[in-house]
Amino acid sequence: MRRLGALLLTGLLAGCSVGGTSDGPRTVVLVTHDSFGVDPAALEKFKADTGITVDVRKSGDAGALTNQLVLTKSAPIGDVAFGVDNTYASRALDQGVFLPYKSPEADKGPQRYGIDSNNLLTAVDVGDVCVNVDPTPLAAREQTPPATFEDLADPRYKDMLVVEDPSTSSPGLAFMLATIAHYGQQGWVGYWQRLKSNGVKVVSGWEEAYSQEFSGSSGKGPRPLVVSYASSPSAEIGTDGKARTSALLDTCFRQVEYAGVLSGAKNPEDAKKVLDWLLSEPFQKQVPTTMYVYPAREGVALPAEWQQAAPQPPSPASLPAKDIQANRERWIEQWRAAVRG
C-alpha cells in the first residue's frame, strides 16, 4: 500500500483548494451571476486606488441569483449584488433585499434605466435581445433580409427562424416579451400562431439555437435567422474585417442589468464604493468585451468592431418590471399552448 499512500499524500500536498479565503479588513463581496466577467487588471487597479479587495462570487444565472438574494436577505451572502435584470427585478425590490443608495455616478447615464423611486437598484449595463440574420444564404436566393416582426411571419421567410423556449432560456423569454410589448396582450398569441405556421423552430437554449441551428455561427446550421443579442455580430467578423451577420434592430427587447447594495451588508460604505466603481468609466469601458453588453453610462466609447457590427438598437421594446413579474408564469403557459399545442 505504500505507493498508494505516497500518491494520496502527494495529492494532499500538491493540491488543496480548501481554505484560502480572502477576508481581509477591507473586502467587499460582490455576488453576481455566472456570466459576470471583469478584466483582472481593472480589479487590481481598483484595489490599488481604494485599498478595497473585491471578492467576486458567482451564483448561477440571473434568475438563480435573484432568488438566492431573496432567500438570504436576513443573512446575506455578500455586500453588493450585480446582475439582477429587469425581468426579475421586481421580485427582489418587493422583498427588501437592497438598501437605498444613489451613486454620484448614477446621473451620468444609468438614471435613464431607473426602475424604482427609492434608488434601490442602479443600472450597470444594457443588453438587447434581437433577431440576428445571416444574409449570405438569403442573398444566394436573391432575397433581402427581413426587418420587422411582421416579416418574420411572412411566408417568404418560411422555415428560417430559430428561437429559444421562454421557459428555459433568458433570450427566449426576452423575445417573447418583445412580441408582447409589440402586439399587446390581445395580439401576441396570434402572432406566435402565425410564426408557428411559418415554420419557427423552438429549441431549449441559446447554445443550440445560435451555435448549432444558426447558419451565421461557426456551427454553420441550416437557419439564417436566430434570436440572440444585438452584440453577437461583433464576434462574427470575417478575415476581411467585415461582419458576417447583423441584428434586426426593430425586433429587440431591452434587458437592463442592475446592481444594488444588499441590506445587511457587513461593510455598506465600501460596498457603495464598489457600486460607484461598477458605474465608473474604467469598468464601463470593458463591459462590451467581458460581458457582451452595452455600458449604461453615457459617452463611453464602444470597441471599434462594435461600432461597425453591433450598433445599439435605438428604440427597443420593453415592459414594466412589475408586469413581467405578475404575468411571467401565465404568459409562458399561453406561449406553450400556442406554440407547443
**Window 182 to 201, contacts with other proteins (CB under 8 A):** none
Determine the residue type at 1: M
DSSP 113: G
Residue that has been written with the C-alpha cell 429587469 in this structure:
86
Q: With contacts defined by CB under 8 A, name the span among 60-68, 104-112, 133-141, 314-322 that binds other proteins.
A: 60-68
CB neighbourhood size of 300 (10 A):
19
Applying CB under 8 A, does 341 fall inside the site for other proteins?
Answer: no
Q: Tell me which of 37, 137, 145, 264 binds other proteins, using CB under 8 A.
A: 37
Q: Tell me which of 85, 128, 165, 270 binds other proteins, using CB under 8 A.
A: 165
Q: Tell me which of 27, 64, 111, 181 binds other proteins, using CB under 8 A.
A: 64
Q: Which grid cell sits at 209?
A: 439555437
| Whole-number Å distance between alpha carbons of 158 and 151 | 10
Applying CB under 8 A, does 236 fall inside the site for other proteins?
Answer: yes
Residue 69 parent element (H or E): helix 62-71
Applying CB under 8 A, does 129 fall inside the site for other proteins?
Answer: no
Applying CB under 8 A, does 5 fall inside the site for other proteins?
Answer: no
Listed residue (33, 37, 52) closest to 275, CA to CA? 52
Applying CB under 8 A, does 125 fall inside the site for other proteins?
Answer: no
User: Closest CB to other proteins among 103 and 258?
Assistant: 258
3-state SS assignment for residue 85: strand
Applying CB under 8 A, does 34 fall inside the site for other proteins?
Answer: yes
Contact letters for other proteins, residues 81-120 (x by CB under 8 A): ----------x-----------------------------
Q: Which grid cell sits at 39?
A: 478584466
| Whole-number Å distance between alpha carbons of 99 and 288 | 28
**Are 232 and 244 within 8 A, CB to CB?**
no
Applying CB under 8 A, does 2 fall inside the site for other proteins?
Answer: yes
User: Closest CB to other proteins among 90 and 251?
Assistant: 90
CB of 301 to other proteins, least distance (A): 15
Q: Tell me which of 24, 49, 57, 155 binds other proteins, using CB under 8 A.
A: 57
Percent helix / strand / coil, the chain, rounded to 5? 45, 20, 40
Applying CB under 8 A, does 219 fall inside the site for other proteins?
Answer: yes
Q: Which grid cell sits at 95?
A: 422583498
User: Closest CB to other proteins among 15 and 314?
Assistant: 15
